[in-house]
Structure 1
Amino acid sequence: MAQVTLFIVFFFTSLINLKVDKAGAQLAPAAFIFGDSLVDVGNNNYLKLSLDKADFPYNGIDYPGQKATGRFSNGKNAADFLADKLGLGSPPPYLAVNSMPNKSNIYLTGVNFASGGAGIFNGPDDLERSIPLKKQVDYYMNVYQDLVQNLGSTEAQNRLSKSIFTIIIGSNDVLGYVSSDSSLGKSSTPQQYADTRTSSLRDQLTRLHSAGARKFVVSGVPAAGCCPSQRLKDSTLECNADANNLAQLYNADLKPMLQGLQTELGDISYSYFDAYSVFETFLQTPAKYGFTETKAACCGLGTLNAEVPCLPISNYCPNRNDHVFWDLYHPTQAAASILTDNLFDGTGQYTHPVNVRELVAV
């Protein structure tokens, strides 16, 4: 009888484990994340001169343990949700890992290089306050050399060719251009600026390809002009049309750039995500997604909770799930989750030519 009971326990335990394995199946060997504060998971915590940090309350109030980790969110961000869907733990911040003795093992499943305040372009004064895209790719090159050294070139290339390389960046370039104290508008037209940024991004994707990357997820810029900080600049609290126009110019450049790069390189696959359109649906039909507040930040002070950033002295809304924005610039955990759902499983309306689930299977 004891043997039968033991067998039954073992049998059902095995079934449970199979279910867990199936539900949490690892779909890719690794995920490498590049970008700005929308996907930063703590790199800026290690930049002494950076003012763009989120390692204090009330950031992280809905993160496991109610801990402020450096994510510009009340909880998880898009990098976390994407990793969950890939069956991976959220890749750790590169600056937290690169000095660890066991970093080679950590690199196997990916690293996050994203940095709050980062752009495709960053001036010399920004280099100590954020990690611009080019520097993020420089850091990846270090990871690549480590993987080749430890796995051998063939195995490293095989692993990286199946990994997902995600780039979510560009909003800071848009906001920098339309800033009242910016000289960028005097040196280039909006279209010239968009073209130059797209060309620069193309250069960095090519560098990543030279170091093993084959599957890219590239997000367009959302409606940056509709974040609370930009609405606050208008007496009517409407979206900043100049910022949104520049975002759309850049996004319009991305699709042909990616198509051309695929033709040139021949062995890459990609998923372009139309974050702008998804974000617009939040603002136009908020009830569909459970939102009741689309203009004001959840955490902050003053008009739209946007006169003072999210700080320990700020107020925060009791129900974060009904707000699109967490603070002056960033989406709530709820909004980030919906955005990532559309990125991963979205239709051709929002993803082109494939969504991320389909990209994984290529």
Structure 2
Amino acid sequence: MASTLWVFFLIAIALPGPVRPAPQVPCYFIFGDSLVDNGNNNGIASLARANYLPYGIVFRGGPPGGFSNGLTTVDVISQLLGFDDYIPAYANARGQALLGGVNFASAAAGIREETGQQLGGRITFSGQVQNYVQAVNQIVEMLGDEDSAANYLSKCIFQVGMGSNDYLNNYFMPAVYSTGRQYTPEQYADALIQQYSQQIRTLYNYGARKVVIVGVGQVGCSPSELAQLSSDGFTCIDRIDSAIQLFNRRLIQLVNQFNRLDGAHFTFINAFNIFQDIITNPASYGLRVTNRGCCGVGRNNGQITCLPYQTPCPNRAEYLFWDAFHPTEAGNIIIGRRSYSAQSSSDAYPMDIRHLAQI
């Protein structure tokens, strides 16, 4: 009997385990701000850092640096794309790790160089693009030549999501920045798009072909910006959301322009409409609280982010916002899933990430 069991044991360890399918794309490169930063600001002298509890409280081994209690939207999307692990922060990735893609995002970063400067150090979008160029140089060395690298990168997903800070930590902060006095909302959106277009063109010139451009969400409805009324409780700030919509509409035009380039497949994720739907119909997503953060209460109260070791709300799965600006893991799962696989025709244009990966 013992010998029979031993034979079965030897057969069991010899048999291969279940084989996990390969990711839908070979690599996933991410550019953005605190909504998707996963640790690039950890070593920077900045107030825009989240490498302390209660941020990341669901992660084993401690908070990695993301501005949520758990997963960010790009963590969700990386899982849906089939990656075994989350895409690493550029600050912690070198060599072969670059071949799977990296996250270049930096909290407080913007399209404009001065955006977020009151918070200290950050890697602006231009800086993120330059980091990508350096990464491409390493990829060329690893793959042997530029043609091999270009062919490899053409199959990858590139996600870019900038602009939130250019409004919240620039245009609508008149005590610190002059842009609100220099530009009308229309002029400011045009100025942002002009600079953004040049920066994204550099990504294209260095191999980016499947590019996801994420629009700015309904920032005027975040707890950091909500205005309190005596009778209705809270209402969104229309002047902020109206300005953001001017920018988002120009992003769609930008996608159409880039799609005329050779081999380009650009798409737009309508984060504004996704947020609007969640805020309008929270119960349908299992959420209950959309007008305040689980920790962090808002700009008017002087606390946008969670304080170190602050005790958060006990029922975080019912909250859309983790702090006064950034979604909870529950919120990020909803947004990430709808970005990957559109729930309605307004979620993505001309296609969602799932279909982009199949091209």
What is the TM-score of this pair, normalised by structure 2? Answer: 0.90
Report the counterpart of residue 129 of structure 1 in structure 2: 121
Report the counterpart of residue 107 of structure 1 in structure 2: 98
Q: Which of the numbers 276, 280, 286 marks the counterpart of 2:276?
A: 280
- 1:61 paired with 2:57, answer yes
Which of the pair is proportionally richer in helix? 1
Report the counterpart of residue 216 of structure 2 in structure 1: 221
For residues 341 and 125 of structure 1, the distance between their equivalents in structure 2, rounded to whole angstroms, comes to 29
Report the counterpart of residue 120 of structure 1 in structure 2: 111
Report the counterpart of residue 47 of structure 1 in structure 2: 44
| 8 Å Cα contact 1:296/1:305 also seen in 2 | no
Report the counterpart of residue 322 of structure 1 in structure 2: 318
Deviation beyond 2 Å, 4+ runs, structure 1: 1-11, 124-128, 232-237, 300-309, 312-315
Structure 2 SS opposite 1:217 = strand
| 8 Å Cα contact 1:31/1:111 also seen in 2 | yes
Q: Which of the numbers 138, 153, 157 marks the counterpart of 2:150?
A: 157
1:211–1:303 Cα change, 3 Å:
closer
For residues 86 and 32 of structure 2, the distance between their equivalents in structure 1, rounded to whole angstroms, comes to 15
Structure 2 SS opposite 1:108 = helix
Give how far 1:96 is off: 2.7
1:195–1:326 Cα change, 3 Å:
same
Report the counterpart of residue 28 of structure 1 in structure 2: 25
| 8 Å Cα contact 1:296/1:306 also seen in 2 | no
Report the counterpart of residue 348 of structure 1 in structure 2: 345
For residues 135 and 187 of structure 1, the distance between their equivalents in structure 2, rounded to whole angstroms, comes to 25
Give how far 1:177 is off: 1.1
| 8 Å Cα contact 1:53/1:70 also seen in 2 | yes
Root mean square deviation of aligned Cα: 2.4
| 8 Å Cα contact 2:110/2:116 also seen in 1 | no
Partner letter of residue 129 of structure 1?
Answer: G
Structure 1 SS opposite 2:190 = helix
For residues 149 and 255 of structure 2, the distance between their equivalents in structure 1, rounded to whole angstroms, comes to 25
Give how far 1:62 is off: 1.8
What is the TM-score of this pair, normalised by structure 1? Answer: 0.89
Structure 1 SS opposite 2:325 = coil
| 8 Å Cα contact 1:38/1:116 also seen in 2 | yes
1:218–1:302 Cα change, 3 Å:
closer
Structure 2 SS opposite 1:57 = coil
Report the counterpart of residue 290 of structure 2 in structure 1: 294
| 8 Å Cα contact 1:232/1:303 also seen in 2 | no
For residues 160 and 335 of structure 2, the distance between their equivalents in structure 1, rounded to whole angstroms, comes to 15
| 8 Å Cα contact 2:212/2:268 also seen in 1 | yes
For residues 178 and 125 of structure 1, the distance between their equivalents in structure 2, rounded to whole angstroms, comes to 12
1:305–1:75 Cα change, 3 Å:
farther
For residues 38 and 302 of structure 1, the distance between their equivalents in structure 2, rounded to whole angstroms, comes to 16
- The correspondence of residues 143-292 of structure 1 with structure 2, limited to 5 A, is 143-151=135-143, 152-175=145-168, 176-181=170-175, 182-232=177-227, 237-263=234-260, 265-292=261-288
Structure 1 SS opposite 2:207 = coil
For residues 316 and 116 of structure 2, the distance between their equivalents in structure 1, rounded to whole angstroms, comes to 35
Give how far 1:318 is off: 0.5
Structure 2 SS opposite 1:300 = coil
Provide, for residues 157-201 of structure 1, a one-character-per-residue CA deviation record: whole Å limited to 9, x for no partner.
Answer: 111000111011111112121224232121111011111112222
1:360–1:301 Cα change, 3 Å:
closer
For residues 86 and 300 of structure 2, the distance between their equivalents in structure 1, rounded to whole angstroms, comes to 32
Question: Any unmatched runs of 5+ in structure 1?
Answer: 98-102
| 8 Å Cα contact 2:111/2:195 also seen in 1 | yes
For residues 298 and 355 of structure 2, the distance between their equivalents in structure 1, rounded to whole angstroms, comes to 44
